[in-house]
Structure formats: structure tokens, C-alpha cells
Amino acid sequence: MVLHSGCVHRRLTIRSDPPGAHVTLDGEELGVTPVSTDFTYYGTHEITLTKAGYETLTVMQRVPTPWYQIPPLDLIADNFWPFPITNRHEFRYRLTPRQPASTDALLERARELRSEAQLGIP
């Protein structure tokens, strides 16, 4: 008789409005939204979305731990549960259109940078 032990399959899906944003998860490039990936650890992950014409969005996203993954129950779910468990998380983010900078703001920033360069401020 062969016994199959259960396992937990963790899947994370990231969507954006509008779709097609480049996604980086904890510094690793994933692709464009909508995008899904497997993950190992629960907790807080850094998600960055970039898209031309939109503000870059970086969030510290908490991925909650389900009750069956809290020790010592995780030992049972990962090794002895007779059926596979799929744990899916989906996060949606709305991107903000980039507003063009005003001429005055650009000139002021240029003056600040010139002053810093002359003073040798790193």
C-alpha cells in the first residue's frame, strides 16, 4: 500500500489596473500583469509595479498565514494530510497616471541640483 502525503501549493497572483505593468517581487522580476508565481514564505513582500505613463507603485504586501500553516499544524498539512492543499492569494493594484511636472518645479529642482553639485553634496 502506497501512502501519498499531502503538500501545500502556494500561489500568488498580482493584477493591475490598467493591466500590463511590470512586476518585481522582492527584487525579482516576475513579468507583466496579470502575473502569477509560486512562493514559499508567508509574511511581508515588497511588490513594485511600473508602467510607462504611470507613477511607480511600491507596496509592502502582507501575505497572511492560513491556520493550517501555523506550527505545529503545518507539520500535518505539509507531510501527513492525505490531499494536496492549494493556497491562493490575489492582489490588485490601481496605478495612478503620471502628472507632467510644471516648468517652475523642474527649474527649481535644477537649481537645487546645481547648488548641491557646487557644494559637493553627495
Cell output for 83: 490531499
The secondary element (H helix, E strand) that includes residue 9 is strand 8-17
Under a CB-based contact definition with an 8 Å cutoff, are residues 49 and 16 in contact? yes
Under a CB-based contact definition with an 8 Å cutoff, are residues 34 and 14 in contact? yes
Domain of residue 109 covers: 8-119
In DSSP terms, 48 is beta-bridged to: 24, 58
pLDDT digits (tens, 9 = 90+) for 29-82: 999 999 999 988 889 999 999 999 999 999 999 998 886 666 776 666 667 667
Residue 2 lies in a domain: no
Residue 69 lies in a domain: yes
Residue 47 lies in a domain: yes
DSSP-derived secondary structure for 33-68: SSEEEE-S--EEEEEEEE-TTB--EEEEEEEPPPGG
Q: Is the pTM of this model over 0.95?
A: no
Domains of the chain: total: 1
